[in-house]
Structure 1
Amino acid sequence: MPGNALRYLTSLCAALLLGGCMALNTPEEASTFWELRMNNPPAANSPAAAGGLIVARVRAEANLDTTAMLYREADYEPRYYARSRWIDRPTRQLQTALIDGLEAAGTADVILRAPTQLSARYRLETELLALEHDYRGNTPHAVLRLRVQVLDQDQRSVLASRVISLREPMTASGPGAGVEAGNRALDEAIERIRTVIVQALADAE
């Protein structure tokens, strides 16, 4: 009888431990992953520039070069969502979105992703300065801020340097609405970057 009781208690403990482990891994506790991507590519409305364009890797400070997703409820207090993350580092997703958008717009005759062994006359350098959901105020916003530079590698000169800052209203609170607003801001940012490049390359001719 004591042996049967011991086996019963052992089985009961194992079942409780298994149930606890399963509870820790319920879908409610799992992370949700989100994409930073272009939804509406800019239209091709200008001739492609000759000479090719290299899109460099996007730079960012360590707090932005991570899959953790930032939000802000008070000044000087950035925080990360507990269970919402980017599917890849925003810097990598931004580089892909820039290439796709600039190709769709016919910005240059050849667009290359850095690093590459191939050469091109022009180079786009981008730095991610801000990417967050801002809950200060009555309406939450997705914030996207980029510094872009267009370089002429043949002439070793900077053709253009701009800071592009966007605040897109969110339709609701929460990471999902923030990502949707952020992607709308990204569409606008790519259109503005295309305009900067086209104007800079035209002035360089």
Structure 2
Amino acid sequence: MKHILGKKLAVKIAALLFALMLAGCSTLRSTEAEAVRTYLLEAQFDRTVQAKPVPLVLTVSPSRAAPGYNTERMAFVRQPHRLEYFAKNRWAERPAKMLDPLLVRALELRTGFNAVTSADGMVKGDVRLDTEITLLQQEFTTSPSRMHMRLRVQLVEQASYRVLATQVFDAVEAAPADNPYGGVIAANRMLPRLLDQIADFAAMNGVSFYGHLK
């Protein structure tokens, strides 16, 4: 009798352990399914450009973003005028914040300014570069989908706050896949081109401004 009861107890314990194991696996699968994927905005630069020297210090102010894009959420559109966001895919940080060190690096490599500094540093520049992300979205209105980014840039004289030049830079890149990761790849492919163009804009107008000072 005791032997039979012992076997029944062992069976019950085994069944309980198996149920707990299944519950644990189910929880793990649920957690994995709910995990949010985060992505970086990055840029690789090929080489340093031998630019014309500009004996000025350029300060890069913190980039801003237009409403709808000042967020870690990744925006996409399926129809005009309607902005949506991926539920489980996000930028690791606000794109405007991730853009700043990349912009500084591009300006260091492609312009001849004496120095390129961030606005939060101790050095006050002679001219300042202001940047705003006015659009950053994956567009499913085309096939394949594409990443679309637009930046508005101003070069400002620090002493007088006079705007020296303004330009809008716009780029699109086809996504290799119609999903959030495809949009990330497209964004990081086109970003170096945009940054190179902004650096050339800053260099050209910096040279022009210094020429008028002499």
| TM-score normalized with structure 1 length | 0.87
Deviations 1:171-193 (A, max 9, x none): 22112221121112211111111
Instruction: Give the corresponding residue for 2:123.
Output: 118
Larger gyration radius, structure 1 or structure 2: 2
Shift of 1:126: 0.4
Which of 56, 65, 70 is 1:65 aligned to?
70
Is contact 2:147–2:173 with CA below 8 Å preserved after alignment?
yes
Question: How far 1:62 moved relative to its partner?
Answer: 4.6
2:50–2:112 CA contact under 8 A, matched in 1: no
How many residues are paired up? 203
Question: Which segments of structure 1 move beyond 4 Å, counting only runs of 4 or more?
Answer: 4-17
Q: Measure, in 1, the Cα distance between the counterparts of 2:38 and 2:61.
A: 25
| Structure 1 SS opposite 2:124 | coil
| Structure 1: runs of 5 or more not aligned | none
* 1:134 and 2:139 aligned: yes
Structure 1 position 80 matched with structure 2 position 95: no
Describe the superposition over 1:90-145 as per-residue Cα deviations: whole angstroms up to 9, x where unpaired: 01111111011111224412111122232110100001101111110233211010
8 Å CA contact 2:58–2:127 kept in 1: the answer is yes
The yes-or-no answer on 1:24 pairing with 2:30 is yes
CA displacement at 1:18 relative to structure 2: 3.1
Tell me the equivalent position of 1:163.
Answer: 168
What value does the CA root-mean-square deviation take over the aligned residues? 2.3
Identity %: 23
Aligned to 2:100: 95
Select 2:179's aligned residue among 174, 183, 196.
174
Query: Matches of 2:72 and 2:12 in 1, distance apart?
Result: 48
Q: Distance in 2 between matches of 1:11 and 1:42?
A: 60
- Tell me whether 1:49 sits opposite 2:32 in the alignment: no
Give the letter for the 1:24 counterpart. S
2: CA distance, partners of 1:192 / 1:11: 63
Change (3 A) 1:40 1:61: same
Check conservation: 1:144, 1:166, Cα contact below 8 A. yes
- The answer on 1:188 being equivalent to 2:181 is no
In proportion to residue count, which structure has more helix?
A: 2
2:153–2:166 Cα contact (<8 Å) kept: yes
Question: For residues 148 and 202 of structure 1, what CA distance do their matches in structure 2 show?
Answer: 17
Whether the 8 Å contact between 1:44 and 1:104 is mirrored in structure 2 is yes
The aligned residue for residue 202 of structure 2 is 197
Structure 2: tracts of 5 or more residues without a match: none
Q: Deviations over 1:144-169 (max 9, x none)?
A: 10110001112431111111111112
Structure 2 CA distance for partners of 1:147 and 1:89, relative to 1, 3 Å? same
Give SS of 1:50's match. Answer: strand
Q: Give the TM-score normalised by the residue count of structure 2.
A: 0.83
Q: Would you say the 8 A contact 1:42–1:190 is kept in 2?
A: no
**Change over 3 Å in CA distance of 1:100–1:63 after alignment to 2:** same
**Amino acid corresponding to residue 84 of structure 1 in structure 2:** N
State how far apart, in whole Å, the 1-side matches of 2:144 and 2:15 are: 56
